Amino acid sequence: MNIGQASEHSGLAPKTIRYYEDIGLIRPDRGGNGYRDYAEADVHKLRFLQRSRGLGFSVEECRQLLALYEDKSRASSDVKELTQAKLTEIDRKIRELTELRRTLEHLVHACHGNDRPDCPILEELSDARPE
């Protein structure tokens, strides 16, 4: 199938599919005319990549997951380890975002939001103390 059909079947934009090919995540065959010829296996990999990216895995992590998926002698512990590392990273980001939210919420509550020029938000942002 051509790239347009692969795009339809995978849900990925042709530009994304070309990018994945450029970085070696997929390798479609080339027809005699030089055009890409995607097989069902390629579309399956594209869907795998789309789902992996949707779960927050980086391109390099997707490369590792895809290699593990294709390795029939893999240990599931390798997959679990990679996924656990992603979960730990997400938990860290959630903690950071929660603290960021708390700080912004405090600033919003500290500001009167009236016509006066004094603003605790701007005062806090201009405070040069290192964190």
Average pLDDT for the chain: 93
Joined tokens for residue 68: 């593990």
Instruction: Tell me how far the alpha carbon of residue 124 is from its chain's centroid.
Output: 32
Joined tokens for residue 119: 């603003």
pTM score, two decimals? 0.79
**In the chain, domain spans:** 1-72, 75-131
Model confidence at 129, pLDDT cuts 50, 70, 90, reads: low
Asked if residue 120 has pLDDT above 70, the reply is yes
83 vs 27: CA distance, rounded Å: 25
74 vs 67: CA distance, rounded Å: 9
Instruction: Read off the pLDDT of residues 90-106 as tens digits, 9 standing for 90 and up.
Output: 999 999 999 999 999 99
Assign domain 1-72 to a CATH class. Answer: mainly alpha
Joined tokens for residue 4: 């347009």
